[in-house]
Amino acid sequence: MNAKSKQNKTVENDASVQLFLDSVQDPVRRADAETLVSLMTEVTGVQPKMWGNAIIGFGRNHYKYESGREGDQPAVGFSPRKANLSIYALSHTDTSRAALARLGKHKTSVACLYVNRLEQIDLEVLKELVKECFELYNEV
């Protein structure tokens, strides 16, 4: 592996969040994405930025693995994928696990919360998850 292939491909950039939102073809997914931008802006107090070509992020977190690889990622964020909304706001605390039990229809992975439609979840609970994750991971 050369040095270039080890670089993180998902980096913050100056691409337009609004143009990205406008490019989401499914009208419900686009409306949900616009709602998430408003919700995360309200909760975090920071403006959204594009990370890579498909992630809208808020804040910044620096990570470093035991392997030595390191980089930056949004403290919280999301991507309106074709299959679902991928929401990056999991902190894996007892508080967040309790909140997930109240959230509504969703799936999780190590770092992601997957939601088909925002109407299927409690947005107040999502705000709790976003707030906790942002407070834990954002590096001002």
> How many domains is the chain built from?
1
What's the average model confidence in pLDDT over 62-85? Answer: 93
Residue 1 lies inside a defined structural domain of this protein: no
- Give Cβ neighbours of residue 12 (< 8 Å, ≥ 6 apart): 49, 50, 51, 57, 60, 72, 74
- 81 pLDDT exceeds 70? yes
Query: What is the pLDDT at residue 69?
Result: 86
pLDDT in tens, 13-57: 999 999 999 999 999 999 999 999 999 999 999 999 999 999 999
> Is 50 domain-assigned?
yes
CA-wise closest residue to 52 among 4, 23, 10, 19: 10
Residue 5 resides in a domain: no
Q: Which domain holds residue 130?
A: 12-137
Domain CATH code at residue 48: 3.90.1150.200
Q: Is residue 62 part of a domain?
A: yes
3 located within any domain: no
CB 29 within 8 Å of CB 80? yes
pTM of structure: 0.92
